[in-house]
Every structure is written in C-alpha cells, then in structure tokens.
C-alpha cells in the first residue's frame, strides 16, 4: 500500500511539473511574439525563389551533386567561362560579386580568365 501511495505522489508531481513547464513556455512564446523577434522570419526556400539564377549555355565535367542537381566544374554563361566556387545556402542572404553567377539550386561560379 505504501508503494502505491508513493507511486501516485510521484505521478502527481510529474503531472504538476509538466503543467508548470507548459505554462512557463507559453509565457515565453507570448513574449517572443510580442517583441516581434520572429516577424521577419521566412521559409528558407522563399529566398531561393527570389534569387536571380543564370542559365548556363554550356557545361563541362560533373564534379558532384547538390539537391539532386549536377555540379559542373566549368560553365559558360553569356560568353564568359566560370568555375565552380561554392554552394549558396538558402538561409543565407544572396550576395554575389560582379564576377560571380548563381545557377539553380544555389551553385555559385566565379569567372575564370582561362
């Protein structure tokens, strides 16, 4: 009988703990919403849709894949030759230099002079 009473008290304490956590986390969520911290958040793929992608005229040497798309060693865009540099992650802001081109789904190429 004593073990059953102890077990019931422990279960009651656990339920009380969960209720307090739920109540406390609800207040934190309300504070975050009232401060507007998350207002400017957007879905990661939104920035990818807003990016201006270049379309390559010619591609050479597949060196890998990213999001089921081939990564090419060299691409030809508007008569200029570019070499693969990096992947532009959707969550990061898009900032390309004047000698860079981005090809869907976020592959950045740098102009090469050779």
What separation in angstroms does the CA of 109 have from each of 32, 36, 41, 52, 93? Answer: 39, 37, 28, 14, 16
Q: Structure pTM?
A: 0.54
Interval 52-62 mean pLDDT? 88
Q: Minimum mean pLDDT among 52-61, 66-75, 83-92: which range?
A: 83-92
**Two structure tokens written together for 101:** 């081109």
Extents of the domains making up the chain:
1-40, 44-111
**What are the pLDDT digits (tens) for 58-75?**
999 899 888 888 899 999
């Amino acid at each position: 009988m004593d073990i059953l009473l102890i077990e019931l008290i422990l279960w009651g304490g656990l339920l009380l703990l969960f209720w307090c956590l739920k109540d406390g986390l609800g207040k934190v969520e309300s504070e975050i919403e009232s401060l507007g911290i998350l207002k400017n958040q957007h879905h990661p793929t939104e920035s990818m849709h807003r990016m201006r992608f270049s379309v390559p005229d010619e591609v050479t040497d597949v060196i890998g894949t990213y999001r089921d798309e081939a990564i090419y060693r060299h691409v030809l865009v508007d008569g200029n030759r570019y070499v693969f540099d990096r992947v532009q992650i959707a969550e990061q802001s898009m900032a390309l230099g004047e000698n860079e081109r981005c090809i869907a789904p976020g592959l950045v190429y740098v102009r090469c002079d050779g």
